[in-house]
Structure 1
Amino acid sequence: ERINEEAPHIVVFTGDLIDEYNNYENKDNINKIWEILNTIKAPLGKYAVYGNHDYGGGAERIYEQIMENSGFILLKNEKVYLRNYNINIIGMDDSIFGDYNRETIIGMLDEDSCNIVLSHEPDVIDFLLEYDIDLFLSGHSHGGQVNLPFADSLPLLAKKYTRGLYSFNNYRQTNLYVNIGLGTSQIPMRFMAPPELTVLILIKGE
């Protein structure tokens, strides 16, 4: 409901819908998930990528089914070109358990288009900053989820870029946004990492 109140043109989901699917007790009611997600409206499309948890615990196939039945286009080292807006949306497969292919991603970038890359893990951007990426959207960090002094709760590949907006002084002036997510993993609580929906407004340059 909050997403639809914003009336977005595009909605993206950067992974980790499911945690420990094999332990999920309501598999017979899995359709309720896509019935809810299907109510999200975005006239220029809804796009998603895999997170590391979406591969674990037997979730890989059901995640694909859920997202497709929810009206999301699931991108695994694939892109969608929005011709009327000259926007490339490029989805990377998960960098930990998926089949992320750097050369394939680089080959999808178009110097003359606005290139938006979806990646579950944010820290991999360091290997791509010399290429034509305008906006890099990630999750994975959970913002630490439970932040306590002297305790590192950040996962692999989300230790450098942990939350919010990062701007790079490369030739493309790339921006990275790390969304800290809505739910929880392992323990059902958050501390100093409130759930987040992010609204980004793209302004056409000169």
Structure 2
Amino acid sequence: MTRFMTRRSFLKRATIGTLGTVATVYGGYYYAHDVEPFWLKVQNNDVRSHRIPSSFNNFKIVQFTDTHIGFQYRNKDLKKLVNAIQNQQPDLIVFTGDLTDDPSLISSDKYREIIDQLSRLEAPFGKFWIYGNHDHGGYGTTTILNVMNDSGFKLLKNDTEQIEIENDYINLSGLDDILLGNPRPDQLINDENEGSFNVLLCHEPDYADDIVHLPFDLQLSGHSHGGQVQIPFYGYVVTPALGQKYVEGKHTLGDRLQLFTSRGVGTTRLPFRFLCRPEINVYNLKQA
């Protein structure tokens, strides 16, 4: 028997449906704007290679990247980030670029707060960093350099640092930013160190295609934000230049290079994260 809907029943169902839609939209906005961007994840990765010396077995590198302070990320969030990094008890800390979203918009007082927080980071084998594209431009190049220097970080700008334990060592190299800097990858590893375990810090992950022929075992990158917003059946929403191919996670290139792209910590362009939690990355070296 067919049941007819009364006008009152129709209006009631329509009202409930509308309220449900509004609640869903508002709830989704609130989650993507106020919850997920600050729901930090610790991403653990084992890195295996026969070139890792026995002294470096279980050596722990912690990477953080793309804080973009000033866009949505605040100094009070940086304090929580520093605590999370220290909780990992890193042997070595690396920052792979984009400290602020726009260096010219950060006051001197805010920079002092940033220095106070980053100075709390400690690792027995040092703290290193490279430029990202947002760190360059205007007076940003010098400003960010001074902030990181005052925070105890050493810049790797087309430089290589030897990390030593007893009589063993690995090489840690860093490139200037690809988009706005002057990268010189060919000068990083000499013939003597081709057989060593060589780590490269490079802000833009897609540049791995240009250095895969060089003797690097591990590339750590950021820049892409993991797409920042991921929509099922559609994919990544925010993918910048040179961050569109290797958007997140692990990729193996050639017969040697392991590339890891971090989702990073902050946001840019859009003040949202959806199905793409911010992360710090822990790399545990394992002698294969």
Per the TM superposition, whether the score is higher than 0.5 is yes
Would you say how many aligned residue pairs link Structure 1 and Structure 2? 202
Quote the residue 1:18 is aligned against: 100
Q: 1:46 to 1:87 in 2, by over 3 A?
A: same
Quote the residue 1:59 is aligned against: 140
Quote the residue 2:241 is aligned against: 156
1:117-156 equivalence runs, <5 A: 117-148=200-231, 149=234, 152-156=237-241
- Listed as ranges, the gaps of 5+ residues in structure 2 are 1-82
Kept after mapping to 1: 8 A contact 2:229/2:237? no
1:29-40 equivalence runs, <5 A: 29-40=110-121
What TM-score, normalized to structure 1? Answer: 0.91
CA RMSD in angstroms comes to 1.8
Kept after mapping to 2: 8 A contact 1:76/1:91? yes
- Cα offset for 1:130? 1.8
- Cα offset for 1:56? 3.1
Question: Equivalent of 1:80, from 145, 154, 161?
Answer: 161
Establish whether residue 186 from structure 1 lines up as the match of residue 264 from structure 2: no
- Cα offset for 1:15? 0.3
- Per the alignment, in what secondary structure is the counterpart of residue 203 of structure 1? strand
- Cα offset for 1:189? 1.9
Structure 1 Cα separation of the partners of residues 192 and 119 of structure 2: 29
Structure 1 Cα separation of the partners of residues 247 and 122 of structure 2: 28
- Per the alignment, in what secondary structure is the counterpart of residue 137 of structure 1? strand
- Cα offset for 1:60? 1.1
- Show CA shifts across 1:100-132 (max 9, x none): 113223548822311000000011111111221
Establish whether residue 70 from structure 1 lines up as the match of residue 155 from structure 2: no
- Show CA shifts across 1:147-200 (max 9, x none): 343764200001110101112342xx2211001101111332212221101111
Structure with higher Rg: it is 2
Establish whether residue 47 from structure 1 lines up as the match of residue 132 from structure 2: no
Query: Which structure shows the higher helix fraction?
Result: 2
Q: 1:176 to 1:92 in 2, by over 3 A?
A: same
What TM-score, normalized to structure 2? Answer: 0.66
- Cα offset for 1:57? 5.0
Kept after mapping to 2: 8 A contact 1:79/1:108? no
Kept after mapping to 2: 8 A contact 1:90/1:108? no
Q: 1:33 to 1:87 in 2, by over 3 A?
A: same
- Listed as ranges, the gaps of 5+ residues in structure 1 are none
Establish whether residue 167 from structure 1 lines up as the match of residue 252 from structure 2: yes
Partner AA of 1:189 in structure 2: F
Identify the range of structure 1 (57-66 vs 175-184) with the bigger mean alpha-carbon deviation: 57-66
Query: Which structure shows the higher strand fraction?
Result: 2
Percent same amino acid at aligned positions? 37
